[in-house]
Structure 1
Amino acid sequence: MSEKGLTTITLKKINRSKVYQYIYRNRQTSKMQIVQDLQMGLSTVSQNLNLLEKEGLIDRNGYFDSTGGRKAQAIQIVADFRISIGIGILKNMFHITAIDLYGNAFYTDTIPLPYSNTEDYYKKLTDKIRGFIAEHHYDEQKILGISIATQGITSPDNSTVIYGNIMNNTGMCLEDFSRHLPYPCHLEHDSKSAAFLELWNHPELDSAVVFLLNRNLGGAIITDHRIHQGSSMHSGTLEHMCMDPDGPLCYCGNHGCLETYCSANSLEQSAGMPVKEFFPLLREKKSPRLTSLWEDYLRHLAFAMRNLNLIVDAPIIISGYLAPYFTEEDINQLLEHINSSSPFPIGKSQILVGTHGQYTPAIGAALFYVDQFIRSV
């Protein structure tokens, strides 16, 4: 092939990608808007739109209001052209979700399955994933991959869990799952998956500190619009910040970690009831005992936020299982605690609250393949 021919093919691929990415970012647009904003010729844009439509990547559905001439046809991507499956593994269950190319979760479910590092467990879990795909009649050709979020720090190549004290899953391998599934598979630390979802939902953020308030606490640091991993993959493990060296015993073997004060498990243990019972009694019945427990929880959380804000001067994101339970009053209390002792007060706009609750890691994991696909088109 001549150099000229190669250059022409490359240019066509670049133009196709530019047009698709523009439509993706803008959600809905018109042919003339693409011509104007990308400064491409009308014929070039028309050719690329016809190609993308033929491939099934975009469709033309409806019209914009007339501005005096012929109505412009509305163009958008086909959001379910490809889908991604996300899994969030916990001790006694796993969460499963299916998302479209915009990261919208159009299905979520929780499936009971106690974890054990055995072939039988991995076979049961992957059988349930395959059953989930069959039951919902998802076309296998549309599935980008299966991405698995687990409680445990993974190796740099995401092939193995190298620290998994919560679930005793140290040594868990990607191969444990992938050998049973006919799709690309990915393994990720659940906190990093959650942070990826929050970054996806807040693309304007360059940096942030993520508090994943799940049954077990987790966290992540976002810098330069990326999740910071660290030299040994444990950046952001804020759950093991020591709050009191004489405090409760943590699963890591130390005492007084933030995990023992601000995880959902620690809250349930203190309250003597599940989270789903705790918050109605707290909000509606105004139980003095539960109010005192929640105030203590917020004080410990604010203390950690205050200290981390001194290290990473960036917005704080409250994410995970407990996030949907937070009220405006709770955020105000956090700010009051933080600013009463910090030399650098923060404003309300610097605390963001996630909306996906317990499914946050699973959805964030699924975004791994969506992000790959969008970048590749």
Structure 2
Amino acid sequence: MVVDKTVNIKEFNRNRIYMLLRQKRNLSKQDIVQHLQISLPTITQNLNYLLQEKLIANTGTIGNTGGRNAQVYSYISDAKIAIGLDITRNHVTTVVVDLNGDIIHINRRRQKFETSDPYFQLLGNIIQEDIKELDIDDSKILGVGIGVPGLITEDHQTVFYGKILNFTGETLQRFTKYIPYPAILVNDANAAGFSEIWATPDTKNAFYISLSNNIGGAVYIGNKVFAGENQKSGEIGHITIIPDGLPCYCGQKGCLEAYCSASLLADTADGSLGRFFEEVQGGNREKLIVWDNYLRHLSIAINNIRMLFDCDIILGGYVGAYMENYIDTLKKLVASRNTFEDHADYVRICSYKTEAIAAGAALPFIDQFINQI
């Protein structure tokens, strides 16, 4: 097969120009020449293309050198958007994400999960409501990512393990019966991990722990998900931390899930995780004991991960969002278990704290789009 190198070079230059505008926001042609060392005709041609595609805008002029002022070109962050869903047992959360990866809209509602046509129709209706509220043209919508608490086939089409919601075997085709846009199914922990890698591009290798009502994990090597031979990598919720310990929903005993689920904390405070942490801050003795046990069990899992992967460990999920006041305590517990290091600076709190699962489900569409311009 003969590869047209001219086409490749054109696309390469176009992407460089677009990425520069995305980074700097507002630039003149001369600015772009200085940054990229590309000829002015090439820059003009590519700017015209990006203007035609409505990905950038001509937003005025700058400078006065005695001649004509230089025109300014600006990046349009909402030229395209993607939609992400976070599906849980009792809630549906939708977010709309722009080309920056920023959430521009959140819609969370209580809705019991069902594998039924009315439920899937409701998902379609919710998305249409969001689109209508934001007055988004269909041509701007890149796709819909659906984050679910289950293991997903490599082609993002089928749930092959879905015990949490009892939906093993459910398909993307059913989920998207009423969603007229490109779509994918995504494991919830992988989605949350992707949002974190997006927010911290300097992170190359990391293990992301999703500390939500269910415990999940995602392994990132070279900024890519390591899914494992059978798409089961990172399932830290089911490592054994206490042999023959508390029963887990999976049928085993002693899983991390049984000791570090966010719901275990919330259930001691009338179902409110926020209230639980308020009472911890207030010195409630009962809640402090529960929290100390939680941190102790979590430290075992973190140390095991460090021994296996020797990489940064990122804490996310519902509990991760509350961890800031307690990270030093957790680090001391982790360091006390580490054979080789006397610190745990490799443990950090997630940067992407708001609806990371839903956003992370949407972001693959954004990532693919900006990299193929």
How far apart, in 2, do the equivalents of 1:70 and 1:325 lie? 54
1:22 — aligned with what? Answer: 20
1:98 — aligned with what? Answer: 96
2:348 — aligned with what? Answer: 352
After TM superposition, the structure 1 = structure 2 runs for residues 28-67 of structure 1, keeping only pairs within 5 Å, are 28-61=26-59
How far apart, in 1, do the equivalents of 2:332 and 2:64 lie? 51
1:76 — aligned with what? Answer: 74
2:276 — aligned with what? Answer: 278
Mean CA deviation greater in 340-349 or 249-258:
340-349
One-letter code of the match for 2:360? Answer: G
Mean CA deviation greater in 204-213 or 355-364:
355-364
Shift in Å at residue 365 of structure 1?
0.4
- Residue 322 of structure 1 aligns to a residue whose secondary structure is helix
1:306 — aligned with what? Answer: 303
- Residue 203 of structure 1 aligns to a residue whose secondary structure is coil
**TM-score for both structures, normalised by structure 1:** 0.91
Shift in Å at residue 354 of structure 1?
2.0
Shift in Å at residue 11 of structure 1?
4.0
**Does the Cα contact within 8 Å between 1:321 and 1:358 map onto a contact in 2?**
no
Mean CA deviation greater in 16-25 or 224-233:
16-25
Mean CA deviation greater in 99-108 or 56-65:
56-65
One-letter code of the match for 2:287? Answer: L
- Residue 96 of structure 2 aligns to a residue whose secondary structure is strand
1:295 — aligned with what? Answer: 292
1:318 — aligned with what? Answer: 315
Shift in Å at residue 204 of structure 1?
0.9
Which of these residues, 229, 249, 252, is aligned with residue 250 of structure 2? Answer: 252
Which of these residues, 333, 336, 340, is aligned with residue 337 of structure 1? Answer: 333
Shift in Å at residue 62 of structure 1?
6.1
Change (3 A) 1:339 1:68: farther
Mean CA deviation greater in 308-317 or 171-180:
171-180
**Does the Cα contact within 8 Å between 1:241 and 1:257 map onto a contact in 2?**
yes
Change (3 A) 1:9 1:268: closer
Mean CA deviation greater in 94-103 or 115-124:
115-124
Which of these residues, 176, 179, 187, is aligned with residue 185 of structure 2? Answer: 187
One-letter code of the match for 2:297? Answer: H
| 1:296-354 residue CA offsets vs partner (Å, 9 max, x unmatched) | 111111111111101111111111212221124x1111111111121222656422222
Mean CA deviation greater in 22-31 or 212-221:
22-31
| 1:250-295 residue CA offsets vs partner (Å, 9 max, x unmatched) | 1110111101111101222355542121111111x21111112111
- Residue 355 of structure 2 aligns to a residue whose secondary structure is helix
- Residue 200 of structure 1 aligns to a residue whose secondary structure is helix
How far apart, in 2, do the equivalents of 1:152 and 1:237 lie? 10
What percent identity do the matched residue pairs reach? 34
**Does the Cα contact within 8 Å between 1:261 and 1:267 map onto a contact in 2?**
no
One-letter code of the match for 2:329? Answer: Q
One-letter code of the match for 1:343? Answer: T
How far apart, in 1, do the equivalents of 2:146 and 2:271 lie? 29
One-letter code of the match for 2:36? Answer: L
Shift in Å at residue 64 of structure 1?
7.0
Shift in Å at residue 86 of structure 1?
0.3
How far apart, in 2, do the equivalents of 1:248 and 1:29 lie? 59
One-letter code of the match for 2:358? Answer: A
Change (3 A) 1:252 1:43: same
**Does the Cα contact within 8 Å between 2:336 and 2:342 map onto a contact in 1?**
no
2:364 — aligned with what? Answer: 368
In angstroms, what is the RMSD of aligned CA positions? 2.4
Change (3 A) 1:217 1:9: closer
One-letter code of the match for 1:274? Answer: S
Change (3 A) 1:28 1:317: farther
How far apart, in 1, do the equivalents of 2:344 and 2:67 lie? 46
How far apart, in 2, do the equivalents of 1:221 and 1:297 lie? 23
Shift in Å at residue 158 of structure 1?
1.2
One-letter code of the match for 1:374? Answer: I
**TM-score for both structures, normalised by structure 2:** 0.92
Shift in Å at residue 8 of structure 1?
4.8
- Residue 234 of structure 1 aligns to a residue whose secondary structure is coil
How far apart, in 2, do the equivalents of 1:333 and 1:66 lie? 58
Shift in Å at residue 244 of structure 1?
1.0
Shift in Å at residue 31 of structure 1?
2.4
**Does the Cα contact within 8 Å between 1:220 and 1:237 map onto a contact in 2?**
yes
- Residue 327 of structure 1 aligns to a residue whose secondary structure is helix
Q: Between Structure 1 and Structure 2, how many residues are aligned?
A: 372
One-letter code of the match for 2:239? Answer: M
One-letter code of the match for 1:197? Answer: S
1:156 — aligned with what? Answer: 154
Mean CA deviation greater in 175-184 or 51-60:
51-60
**Does the Cα contact within 8 Å between 2:120 and 2:177 map onto a contact in 1?**
no
Change (3 A) 1:9 1:253: closer
How far apart, in 1, do the equivalents of 2:242 and 2:28 lie? 59
**Does the Cα contact within 8 Å between 1:214 and 1:358 map onto a contact in 2?**
no
Shift in Å at residue 95 of structure 1?
0.8
Change (3 A) 1:317 1:36: same
- Residue 79 of structure 1 aligns to a residue whose secondary structure is coil
**Does the Cα contact within 8 Å between 1:84 and 1:143 map onto a contact in 2?**
yes
- Residue 321 of structure 1 aligns to a residue whose secondary structure is helix
How far apart, in 1, do the equivalents of 2:50 and 2:145 lie? 27
